[in-house]
Amino acid sequence: MNLQLIALAVFDGVAYAALVFMVAVGLTLIFGVLRILNVAHGSFYAIGAYVVASVGGAIFAAGWSPWLAFPLMLIAAAVVGIVLGGLIERLLLRRIYDKEEALQILVTFAVFMILEDVQRLVWGVQPYFEATALQSLGNIQVFGVYYTVYQLILLPLVALAVLAGLRLFLRHTLSGRLILAVTEDREAATAIGIDTDKIYLMTFMLGAALAAFGGALASATTSVLPGIGADMIVLSFAVAATAGLGQIEGAALAALLIGLGRSFAVYLMPELEVLIPYLIMLLVLLWRPEGLFGVTQTRKI
């Protein structure tokens, strides 16, 4: 394997890891606060991608500035997170917080299946592709390899900015500290006057918006078609489990590990491309069942 192939594998892995991280960090944030494994999380990713690809295709065909692709991604993520995420939390999840984990998973899986059909109803089954954002930034040559600036520089920088922003938000703002308080002990937080319902709603909308933002970013690099939400949620679960459920910082390293592993498998052993991420997860969980950064907790009875 020569230097150029190694560089390509690294570039592909880092770009892919950035996208997976965007979805996985939203998933792990929701679990850390709400203690729900949200199977429907992949639908937010898919809908964010569909919105950007379809709306972007329409406005750019009408002659609008291609640089609007970037604010469009942010707007689409915010709308999906606030509207769709807010409705699901207020109307459905709020009713099952105190139910058994198996019921919670079944309910969110039912939401995922409904949203999959909604996507087919609204956008059909034909693939969408809108690469205006990717084309606007052009290419760059590194180690003799030409690679898009969008994937090599923008995606990793956005992922790092999201990680740093979440750390600052959770540790240095009042809302973030309230979220951490509810995460540690919901009953104690309620006893001291924290509105836990409001915190749950805000957290779920933020996690949904992050997943939708990941889909919006991915829409410039891949075709948007039915099934992308299912593929991403499985990978996101692998990242979250590898890092340790609820571990936001760990999700970044786990996403990078899985992204690079998958990328090198594409170049060295293509037949193992699908297997590698889950093999990494399996090996980590056999060594540390709580994940790389997870901690063993005593369960309240």
pLDDT tens-digit readout, 73-119: 999 999 999 999 999 999 999 888 888 888 989 999 999 999 999 99
The full set of domain ranges for the chain reads 3-287
- Angle made by CA atoms 205, 162, 166, in degrees to the nearest 5: 65
CA distance 42 to 38: 9
Q: pLDDT tens across 231-282, in order?
A: 899 889 889 888 887 788 888 999 999 999 999 998 888 888 888 888 988 8
Decide: 71 and 64 in contact? Cβ < 8 Å. no
Q: Which CATH architecture has domain 3-287?
A: Orthogonal Bundle (1.10)
Query: Which DSSP letter does residue 83 get?
Result: I
Q: Which pLDDT score is estimated for 250?
A: 85
When mean pLDDT is compared over 47-56, 182-191, 230-239, the highest value belongs to 47-56
Instruction: Look up tokens 């992204």; give the residue.
Output: 259
> What confidence category does residue 27 fall into, taking pLDDT thresholds of 50, 70 and 90?
very high
CA distances from 184 to 28, 33, 114, 181, 236 (A): 15, 8, 33, 5, 23
As given in the structure block, the two tokens for residue 150 are 């969008």
Q: Which pLDDT score is estimated for 297?
A: 53
Average pLDDT, stretch 132-159? 91
- Among 16-25, 103-112, 117-126, 138-147, where is mean pLDDT lowest? 138-147
Decide: 24 and 239 in contact? Cβ < 8 Å. yes
Q: Which pLDDT score is estimated for 180?
A: 85
When mean pLDDT is compared over 128-142, 186-200, 239-253, the highest value belongs to 128-142
Model pTM score: 0.92
